[in-house]
Structure 1
Amino acid sequence: MAIKPQRLEKGDVIGIIAPASPPNQENLKRSLSFLDELGVKVKKGKHVTDQYGYLAGKDSDRLADLHNMFLDEEVKAIICAGGGYGTGRIASQIDYSLIKENPKIFWGYSDITFLHTAIRQQTGLVTFHGPMLASDIGKEDADPLSKQYFSQLFEPLTLDYPEGISNLETMVSGSAAGILTGGNLSLLASTIGTPYEIDTKNKLVLIEDINEEPRAVDRMLNQLHMAGKLEDAAGFIIGDFNNCVPERELSLELDEVLDTYIKRVNKPAVKGFNIGHCSPHISVPLGVRAELDAAGKKLTIESGVK
């Protein structure tokens, strides 16, 4: 049973955490003006400025910030400052009963995919795949459309992927409906064989990635294929694969790799969605029902808040 978090209201407090890599502090500071425009207040986690190699602090500290934000009754939503690496390291230490008892908006993408998957499958909480503060919103060239989709947190409205913002292509025709799941392909593959293994049964599966050569995308899709995850899906939403280009002379193109795996299972699929490491980046709730009309290239998603 899906648990939808309570919608935001003007004046609510937003918690900011960095559960993966150290966020760009200048961008993070710049993003605060956007949150001010939304009419919300901000509370930063104690370890948002920490650095421990490629991690934003030690595992215990990043975990503490996550737990504390869910426990803090004043905080109505948690937005991740950035992604990178490291959320999988804390997944097995999270108190999921604490999250289930204190459901609230949780927002991020990229490395945060591991947390989206683990939290949803352990608690039923609907979470949000969307641009983050330091990684996206705080950049000087942040796209207004990326910012606009934060409005879904304030009103329970059905989302329709906007026509004309990206070149959509039907890979496999037909219609499919199911719970929307997925996110970053690298992180989805890394859940296989763990207690947080992605459940794709009768789901609409979103995949996206960045800076992975076609051979790496091939390896990860093959892993999902051999684990039965592609065959289990109801359909596929192929997001942005930013800079996923060959670095060697002898290579398949990304589209050839995607075609091999997606067309093999013959489930409705559309590629080209501006969801992922792109600008604009259209944010979507995960864990709610969605409908894909592949022939008509239309995606409709149920509201993620109540």
Structure 2
Amino acid sequence: MESLDHATTDQVLTPPPLRPGDKIRFVSPASPPDRDRVLRHAEILRGWGLRVDFGEHAFHKHHYLAGTDEERLADLDAALRDPEVRAIFTTGGGKGSYRIADRLDFAAVRRDPKFLIGFSDITTLHLSLLRHGRVIGIHGAFFAGPGEEGVSAETVSALHGALMTTEDIVIQSRPEEPTAALTTSGRVTGRLIGGHLETLTAAAGWALPNLSGTILLLEANGRYRGQVDRQMTMLRKARHLDGLAGVAIGQFTDFEFDLRFSVIDILREHLNVLGVPVLGGLPLGHGRSPVSALIGAVAELDAETGTLTIGRGSI
């Protein structure tokens, strides 16, 4: 099968936006979800005029996974193949998407492109769907960050805009995010690829597309600074970061930022040698009020204005 890594006449496709009356399906390709939380999120979607249903195994549990590999894969493939399902919401991340990401029905993905919505461990699915199916996904979720009682209005509005409009997505850097300190200068355009750093690193060599000419998105949570150092070292020394156009840095949460040599210093060391524009402070990830991004879409990173603008065209 041809992939995004190779010359091809096939476009990278942007699935059509949802309309009231469309059906969406929740599936659980990773860890077991919190049923009550998923049902609350389903009510938000019904409020948008969407019809909601659930994969057969959406609330199963198999050790730390939401069902066996075969059950989780069957639910995801069924949603990809069902012409009535117009978008697929993952119930959450955790662990396990990487176990099935190379076995998806990529022919169905290409035949009937539809948005897959999720982040964190779901990064592996976004990368594999882009590399092998050449279809854009949504890095986002109904996620409540640290200290938030529920999903913020900003998070809900951003996901609604990504899923149900054709407008470009403009994401503004937040000065209060620790990664804002990594912002350099310059403006570049490239396809936005990436997501959760640990998951992205696990995808290298089999699900990670060729990153040459792209804008790399990175976010992380709950990692020790040494783990981030290992992951960034692996990506650089294996030459996965060769030829990047730029780097977009999202939220790095649950780190100690007041250390003399913090995760920000570690990231700066690795990013400086790339010699490309870097925009930090983006509200993408596991922090407060995260927004949504289109993984695989062409974006403009402007470090001068602190904005990441993501387009809708299929290129």
Q: Structure 2 length as normaliser, TM-score?
A: 0.89
Asked whether the 8 Å contact 1:169–1:271 carries over to 2, the reply is: yes
Distance 2:18 2:83 in 1: 14
Which of 226, 230, 246 aligns to 1:219? It is: 230
- Aligned AA for 2:140? G
The 3 A distance-change label for structure 1 pair 239 and 69 is same
- Is the 1:82–1:132 Cα contact (8 Å) retained in structure 2? no
C-alpha distance in structure 2 between counterparts of 1:132 and 1:64, whole Å:
24
Task: Supply the distance in 2 between the matched residues of 1:236 and 1:300 (Cα, whole angstroms).
Answer: 13
CA distance in 2, matches of 1:104, 1:271: 29
Rounded Cα–Cα distance in structure 2 between residues aligned with 1:116 and 1:37: 26
Corresponding residue for residue 272 of structure 1: 281
Name the TM-score, length of structure 1 as normaliser. 0.92
- Cα distance in 2, alignment partners of residues 276 and 48 from structure 1: 23
Amino acid at match of 1:226: K
**2-structure distance, mates of 1:9, 1:286:** 21
Q: Aligned Cα RMSD in Å?
A: 2.1
**5 Å matches for 1:123-142?**
123-132=133-142, 140-142=149-151
Per the alignment, residue 302 of structure 1 pairs with 311
Q: CA deviation at 1:231?
A: 3.0
Q: Deviations over 1:116-164 (max 9, x none)?
A: 000011011011100247x77xx85211100001222222111111465
1:160 aligns to 2:170 (yes or no): yes
Seq. identity, % = 30
- Provide the secondary structure at the position in 2 that maps to 1:231: coil
Unaligned runs of 5+ in 2: 1-10
1:99 CA drift (Å): 1.5
CA distance in 1, matches of 2:224, 2:182: 23
CA distance in 2, matches of 1:163, 1:185: 19
The superposition leaves residues 31-56 of structure 1 with CA deviations (integer Å, 9 ceiling, x where unpaired) of 12211111101010000110011100
CA contact (8 A) 1:191 1:198 kept: no
Secondary structure at the counterpart of residue 291 of structure 1: strand
Cα shift at 1:267: 0.5
Unaligned 5+ segments in structure 1 are: none
1:156–1:102: structure 2 CA closer, same or farther, 3 Å change rule? same
Are 1:259 and 2:260 counterparts?
Answer: no
Q: 1:207 is aligned with what amino acid? A: L
